[in-house]
């Protein structure tokens, strides 16, 4: 097996994961929702101004 084969296999696997899951996403879901998820999931605290 050449060194490139495991990398091709890894790429194919990762692309397959996206293919399987991406259909579940709503149109409005954006990457920035990640930070919002953290802020929303925290116990409430006032914002600071450092």
Partner 1 sequence: MSERSLVTIAAAIRTRRMSPVEAVGSCLDRVRRLDKRMRAFIRLDESGALGAAKALEADAAAGRWQGPLHGVPVAFKDLCHLQGLPTSCGTKTAEYFTSSQECTAARRLLDAGAISLGKLNMTELAMGPYGDNAHHGDVDNPWRAGHCAGGSSSGSGAGVAAGFFLGALGTDTGGSIRLPAACCGIVGLKPTYGRVSRAGAMPLSWSMDHIGPMAWTVRDVAILLQVIAGRDRADETSSRHAVPDYLARLEEGVSGLRVGIPEGYFFQGVDAEIAAGVRQTGRLLEELGAHVSEVKVPDPQTILDIAMLITRSEASTLHARIARERPHELQPMVRARLEVGFGISAYDYLQALRLRARLTRSFIRDVFAEVDVLLTPTIPEPAPAREPLKALTADEFNVRAGNFSRLTRPFNAYGLPALSVPCGQSKLGLPLAFQLVGRPFDEALLLRVGHAYQEAASWHHQRPALG
Contacts with partner 1: how many residues (CB under 8 A)? 36
The dihedral sign for the CA sequence 33, 36, 38, 40: negative
Size (the chain), residues: 50
State the nearest-atom distance from the C-beta of 12 to partner 1, in Å.
10
Interface mask toward partner 1 for 12-31; x: CB under 8 A: -xxx-xx--xx-xx---xxx
State the residues that interact with partner 1 by CB under 8 A: 3, 6-8, 10-11, 13-15, 17-18, 21-22, 24-25, 29-43, 45-50
């Amino acid at each position: 097996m050449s060194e490139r084969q495991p990398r091709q296999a890894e790429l194919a696997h990762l692309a397959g994961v996206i293919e399987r899951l991406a259909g579940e996403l709503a149109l409005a879901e954006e990457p920035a929702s990640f930070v919002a998820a953290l802020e929303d999931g925290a116990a409430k605290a006032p914002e600071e101004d450092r």
